[in-house]
């Protein structure tokens, strides 16, 4: 039973939000007659803590934890303090596309920042604006061209779908043409850029249903460190 649960050692490289998310996923597969879901989480969570994290749990005052909400809150207060939240918010707000990095690399890096700080307080609309603002000018031009208008006309959901589609396309191009120049670098050939824009336009309307479902999963997962992905809901 315990082998399906994650472990957390309390190291600086450990991700407490991911630990809780993976723990909750594991608990969804554990049913014990006579025990509520709340009781199962309270009884099993201590076994996922190792080394200094286990020692931290043992130092908590006796009788101070009676609910999962209390336990998870204490855990995050310890391993994701306000100072770390502030640092992650700063990284999100100051996001910028790195030189020589393609669109899908920038998009994945931004999503990882959001995942690491689901309680940042930055809503989805602002997240999309922050990401677009952090792109270089060439990439912004391609985004607007892919919109067949202006990115500003998109709502948060539409922007997320657009970014997911563009990321999938650029990643595919990177695999197909590993030796070619990045599509986000300034090209001396206007026909090259035009061809890439046209390719994006033709592909934007395909598989929107699939990307919409993925967007919903991301939204549920990133909105709270305690919520499970839609695929695991009963």
- Give residue-wise pLDDT tens across range 43-74: 999 999 999 999 999 999 888 899 999 999 99
Give me the pLDDT at residue 53, please.
95
Does this model's pTM top 0.85? My answer is no
Q: How far apart are CA 99 and CA 69, in angstroms?
A: 42
Question: What is the gyration radius of the CA atoms in the chain, in angstroms?
Answer: 21
Number of Cβ within a 10 Å radius of residue 133: 11
DSSP state of 119: T
Cβ proximity of 132 and 144 under 8 Å: no
Give me the pLDDT at residue 31, please.
83
Give me the pLDDT at residue 190, please.
53
Task: Write out the chain's pLDDT in tens, 234 residues.
Answer: 567 789 999 998 899 999 999 999 988 888 888 889 899 899 999 999 999 999 999 999 888 899 999 999 999 999 998 888 999 999 999 999 999 899 999 999 999 999 988 888 899 999 999 999 999 999 998 898 888 778 888 899 999 999 999 999 888 876 555 554 554 554 444 555 565 566 655 555 454 444 444 444 344 334 444 343 333 233
The helix (H) or strand (E) run that includes residue 110 is: helix 103-116
Give me the pLDDT at residue 63, please.
87
Give me the pLDDT at residue 233, please.
35
């Amino acid at each position: 039973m315990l082998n399906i649960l994650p472990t957390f050692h309390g190291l600086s490289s450990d991700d407490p939000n991911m630990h809780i998310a993976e723990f909750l996923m594991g608990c969804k597969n554990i049913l014990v007659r006579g025990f509520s879901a709340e009781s199962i989480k309270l009884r099993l969570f201590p076994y996922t803590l190792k080394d200094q994290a286990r020692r931290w749990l043992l130092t908590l005052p006796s009788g101070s934890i009676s609910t999962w909400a209390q336990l998870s809150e204490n855990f995050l207060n310890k391993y994701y303090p306000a100072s770390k939240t502030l640092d992650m918010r700063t990284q999100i707000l100051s996001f910028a596309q790195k030189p020589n990095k393609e669109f899908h690399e920038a998009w994945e890096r931004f999503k990882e920042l959001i995942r690491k700080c689901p309680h940042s307080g930055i809503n989805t609309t602002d997240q999309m604006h922050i990401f677009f603002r952090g792109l270089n000018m060439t990439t912004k031009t391609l985004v607007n061209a892919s919109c067949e208008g202006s990115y500003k006309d998109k709502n948060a959901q539409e922007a997320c779908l657009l970014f997911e589609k563009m990321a999938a396309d650029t990643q595919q191009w990177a695999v197909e043409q590993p030796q070619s120049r990045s599509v986000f670098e300034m090209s001396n050939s206007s026909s090259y850029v035009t061809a890439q824009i046209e390719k994006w336009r033709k592909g934007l309307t395909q598989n929107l249903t699939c990307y919409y479902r993925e967007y919903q999963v991301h939204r549920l997962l990133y909105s709270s460190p305690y919520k499970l992905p839609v695929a695991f809901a009963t």
